[in-house]
Amino acid sequence: MTDLDGVLAFAARSRLAGGGFGYLGADGRVLPGRPVETWIVSRMTHVFGLASLLGRPAADELAAHGVAALTDGPLHDRQHGGWRSSTGDDAKTAYVHAFVVLAAATATSAGVPGGRALLEDALDVWQTRFWGDDEGLAVEEWDAAWRRLDGYRGVNANMHGVEAVLAAADALDDPGTAERLRGQALRATERVVHGWARERDWRLPEHFTDRWEPLPEYNRELPADPFRPYGITVGHQFEWARLALHLRSVTPDAPSWLLDDALALFDAAATRGWAADGEDGFPYTLDWSDRPVVGARMHWVLCEAVAAASVLVRVTGEPRFQELARRWREHGERRFADPATGSWHHELTPSGQVASGTWAGQPDAYHLAQMLLLDGRPVRGSVAAALS
């Protein structure tokens, strides 16, 4: 069985001497020639921050290494503020900034030096540049100087924004700020889950115009895009279901729809997604008639399915979720686990061969580590709070 210490040892290989963390290949070594990517640095910093909360050896230093890279390294734009997408891309995206907030929040919870200052900076950028209070959602992408706002709007970045502000609320000792951030998370979740997903019988649209009008045909010609695929992304439905339950745990007088919608969204993803093409596992995406579009099996989709089922066990006590978590985890151990690296292959064909149509190598440890850490732990606003 995959164990956390093995995953952390794999993740530690991503440490870059020049600062931050690199993208890991299939052999567990940093792929040469790739730029340093802010989402990778942030996700690895988050993972090592979680490990620090558990007292794992060397985790403090690795988390501090990530915080330093995000604070003083070339990814941080000192002239204009915010964070570049990578050392080769100056765009400022909500997806990237959500992960900077998450990394900083977890570092703050773990007492990593510099974590609190990074969190205050990252939250300020999120609030002033991305969060739209009128819409109750975040915008997507700016140019480097914050002059041009792209017309695309997306749910993926907002999902990770919910995760990030919930973690920030848990990390801060300011009740007023925490209440405001959790309120923003509730507004975004209500719009996405209780609005668009519920209205479409739990088929969640991901792509929108600048007026938040759905674009159901977006990227039909690029269906395997790693961040903006066409159609229904099964793994995101599991993630939104889980996040609704994290949010419910920290919302006073939480509305009943948070649990009801989480159950409905989870069940839709589980029943429509599993073996949709006749092969065991969850396809990456489905079309609007629940037919597979990209049949590749992504490790992160299965990790999020297991994590959501594990959280539902704690919330509902229903044995069926324990059975699903067990069955899906066993499937992952048979198909995805890579004994050579201690991690999981990130992409497989429907029949189980290692593939790279969307993801090369085994880039990071974020989804797998969280799957392992959520199993059997109390449901809180964030994974860090559950460990604390």
Choosing from 299, 331, 346, 367, which is the catalytic residue? Answer: 367
Q: Within a 10 A sphere around the Cβ of 128, how many other Cβ atoms?
A: 11
β-partners of residue 285 are 233
| 297-298 and 347-348 beta bridge pairing | antiparallel
Residue given tokens 């009801």 in the structure block: 260
* Encoded amino acid at 337, one letter: A
367 included as an active-site residue:
yes
To 10 degrees, what angle do helices 115-125 and 155-171 make?
Answer: 140
Q: Evaluate whether 284 touches 229 at the Cβ level (below 8 Å).
A: yes
Helix, strand, coil percentages in the chain from 3-state DSSP, rounded to 5: 50, 10, 40
What whole-number distance in Å separates Cα of residue 2 and Cα of residue 336?
A: 10
Q: Which of 236, 299, 345, 346 does the annotation list as catalytic? A: 236
Q: How far is Cα 385 from Cα 254, in angstroms, rounded to an integer?
A: 19
For 40-108, the DSSP string reads: HHHHHHHHHHHHHHTT-TTHHHHHHHHHHHHHHSTTB-TTT-SB-SBTTB--EEHHHHHHHHHHHHHHH
Annotation says 207 is catalytic: no
Pairing assessment for the beta strands 141-142 and 92-93 based on DSSP bridges? antiparallel
Plot region of 88 (φ>0 → left; ψ -120 to 50 → alpha; else → beta) = alpha
**Catalytic sites, residue numbers:** 236, 367
